[in-house]
Amino acid sequence: MSISDKAAKELFELSKSDSLRKDMQTVASQRHNPFLKDGKVDVDAYIEFLSEYNEFINHEPKPFSPIKDKIMRL
């Protein structure tokens, strides 16, 4: 993807703005991951999200198939 010279010049000028930089730092500091609780992944929240999203898009879940391998090494 390429941008026009005009857009590149505008972005370069904006990059010099202290107020924009402070605003972007404020936005970045407010970011959070809804699936992290106390620094650990909350699997229940993730599964609940996926289930509700699946229901939202009306996607039929695949039937469960057990893993047949007895020895698995990573």
Q: What is the DSSP letter of 60?
A: P
Q: What is the pLDDT of residue 64?
A: 87
CA distances from 3 to 20, 21, 63 (A): 21, 21, 46
Its pTM stands at 0.42
Mean pLDDT of 52-72: 82
Mean pLDDT of 55-73: 81
Mean pLDDT of 46-55: 90
